[in-house]
Copies of this chain bind each other. A is one copy, B any other.
Amino acid sequence: MIEIKKLGDHVGAEVTVTGWVEATRGHGKVSFTVVRDGTGIVQGVLVKSQVDEAVWEIQQALTQESVVALTGVVKADDRAPGGYELGVTRVALVSQAEEYPIQPKEHGVEFLMDHRHLWLRSSLQRAVLRIRAEVEQAVHDFFYDRDFVRIDTPILTGAIGEHAGTLFETDYFGDPAYLAQTGQLYVEAACPAFRRVYCFGPTFRAEKSKTRRHLTEFWMVEPEVAFADSDDNMRLQEKFVSYLVARALERCEDELGVLERDTSLLEKVKPPFPRISYSDAVEELQGKGSEVEWGQDLGASDETLLMEDRELPLFVHDYPKGAKAFYMKENPEDPRTVLCDDLLAPEGYGEIIGGSQREDDLHRLQERIREEKLPEEAYAWYLDLRRYGTFPHSGFGLGIERTVAWISGRHHVREMIPFPRLMNRLYP
């Protein structure tokens, strides 16, 4: 059995490829069978006069997604998808498919989501998920090559994350446990052991949101660096994001082509990224007619407005304390604000990173926990990190689905993950 992407090594030879029938067509004398084997697509050409009647009959009865083994001679053909064609001599049926629910026509999105386990086979979905896989490998390579130690942080936690009220709860042998919204607090604990660390895994938000930018379960990568300040942090972010984009451009050319992605703007994504302070951003937005007021977090529509004339990702830094999480470090130059940044992607893709320098002063952190009315006992271990050798440190979280959406040029994050979980979707 030869894989389709290796056909070029076998031109002129007779080989067998095994895969799923994407389509058949033909007339009385010649039939075509398009087969997908997971490594590529090839068209088999069957000439009735050249094969046994039995072979012809099998081909005529093939249904979409049936599994076949096509044997034939490999021919180079520039017009063929993938560049090769198979002059079929034998067709063996591995399994006959029942009538396939997904037809080459428009289906409603709920129908496709109900059939996500099959929809994955379609060319656009394959392209997106290959880009996702490439970006994820790039995440690991980037940090591995820079001596970060990967730290797997727990999903089941007694402590809560940053957004109380949006937690999934479970019974843990009689006690309540919550699904983690972030691994950050835990990677902070690993900094004194390894200096540079990161986690990468699923995170959970029980948000009653149906927008195209939210999933209840999504994947996030969260690096944390000891002795890095907010400026170092932004420099790491722009290097990291540029690396991910470059890897996709370099190794996913076919997939970006399938998605008809205009890559000219992606080619420009190189450090440094422009920066604007939150205060300047608010002023700019007000000048553009936004009703945002200093002190409020920026919403999706403000982010879009801010990015409308910008081609590169943009850092918005030093937000007001009240708009951000309790663990961010107070800005010594303006204590109304914290040392943090959001990184906004261009082309309307919105926030892909939130980062900050962490509050390393024990008493200020305790105050913030009390102000936010968080359960102090759950954070006792986190406070210990400030008791026993506290140190300046910074980190960020990058959402994989939003990043892949931007790189792929697709606007719905629900298609950026193999099996999306939304408020109204837990199946398949």
> Which residues of B lie under 8 Å from residue A177 when comparing CB positions?
168, 426
Residue A419, interface by CB 8 Å:
yes
Binds B, one of A279-287, A289-297, A317-325, A388-396: A388-396
Residue A112, interface by CB 8 Å:
no
Residue A54, interface by CB 8 Å:
no
Quick one: CB contact mask for A244-266 with B, threshold 8 Å, 1 for yes? 00000000000000000000000
**CB-nearest residue of chain B to A65:** B389
**CB-nearest residue of chain B to A190:** B120
Residue A66, interface by CB 8 Å:
yes
Residue A156, interface by CB 8 Å:
yes
**CB-nearest residue of chain B to A385:** B117
Binds B, one of A44-52, A84-92, A142-150, A339-347: A142-150
> Which residues of B lie under 8 Å from residue A101 when comparing CB positions?
388
Establish whether residues B418 and A152, one from each chain, have CB atoms under 8 Å apart when the complex forms: yes
Binds B, one of A130-138, A303-311, A328-336: A130-138
Measured CA separation A317–B125 after assembly (Å): 36
Q: How large is the interface on A (under 10, 10 to 19, 20 to 34, 35 or more residues)?
A: 35 or more
Quick one: CB contact mask for A8-45 with B, threshold 8 Å, 1 for yes? 00000000001011000000000000001111000000
Establish whether residues A173 and B424, one from each chain, have CB atoms under 8 Å apart when the complex forms: yes
Contact of A391 among B95, B129, B191 (CB under 8 A): B95
> Which residues of B lie under 8 Å from residue A391 when comparing CB positions?
20, 67, 94-95
Residue A201, interface by CB 8 Å:
yes
Residue A217, interface by CB 8 Å:
yes
Establish whether residues B195 and A20, one from each chain, have CB atoms under 8 Å apart when the complex forms: no
Establish whether residues A426 and B175, one from each chain, have CB atoms under 8 Å apart when the complex forms: yes
Known: A193-B129, A388-B118. A151 touches B418 (CB 8 A): yes
Footprint of B on A, CB under 8 Å?
1, 3, 18, 20-21, 36-39, 65-67, 94-95, 97-98, 100-101, 115-118, 120-121, 125-126, 129-130, 132-133, 136-137, 140, 144, 147, 149-159, 168-173, 175, 177, 179, 186, 189-196, 201-202, 204, 206, 208, 216-217, 219, 226-227, 360, 381-382, 384-385, 387-391, 417-419, 421, 423-424, 426-428
